[in-house]
Each structure stands twice: as structure tokens, then as C-alpha cells.
Copies of this chain bind each other. A is one copy, B any other.
Amino acid sequence: MSKITIGFQILPYVAEDRLYEVVDKVISYIASKGIRYEVGATETTMEGEFDELMDIVKKSLEICTEQGASRVISLVKIDYKKTGVTIEEKVGKYRK
């Protein structure tokens, strides 16, 4: 399978005043993975192999429960083409 892009939103059930703190831990973890990513207001976009990205999603869920979340809701939006999809082709022209 070629590269895909995903939009990833994560909602840990912690006290609301700890929400950004826990989400920041997830973003730090994503930043450590060496893939292309972009932090947006309601999701983080990532580009990579399907299995690699789903491993990141899984570990992110676990980071939230390690941080005390009683429940984690997450939304993963997948964009897949046989020939691959990149973040650049999607937002490049809006950033110049």
C-alpha cells in the first residue's frame, strides 16, 4: 500500500482543564516519530504507511489512558489512493 494521509483527532476523557496537557503529550509523541505531520485546530494530519500510522493511533490512545483518561474517543480520517496521497498536494498552494 502506498502512502496515505490521515487527519487524527483525539479526545481523552480527563477533567477539561487537563485536556490540552494530555493532547500535548500525544502531539509530542507524534513529533518524535519522524513522519511528516501538521498540527491543526481540531486534528493533526500525518503522512505515512497505513500500518505505521495506525500504530501511532493505537499508542496515542494508550498515552491518554496512562495519563488518567477514563475513556478516549478518536476520529481518524483516511485519504487513500493507489498512487499515494501527500499533505503537500493538498495544502501546498494555500501556504505559498
Contacts and interface: CB of A to CB of B under 8 A. Distances in A.
B80 A71 contact: yes
A75 interface: yes
Contact of A7 (B16, B39, B40, B81): B40
Contacts of A74: 77-78, 80
A81 B16 CA distance: 11
Interface residues of A, number: 43
Interface string A56-74: 0110011001000011111
For the residues of A in contact with B, the DSSP-based class is: mixed
Contact of A80 (B9, B51, B61, B94): B61
Contacts of A81: 65, 70-72
Contacts of A54: 54, 58
A91 B19 contact: no
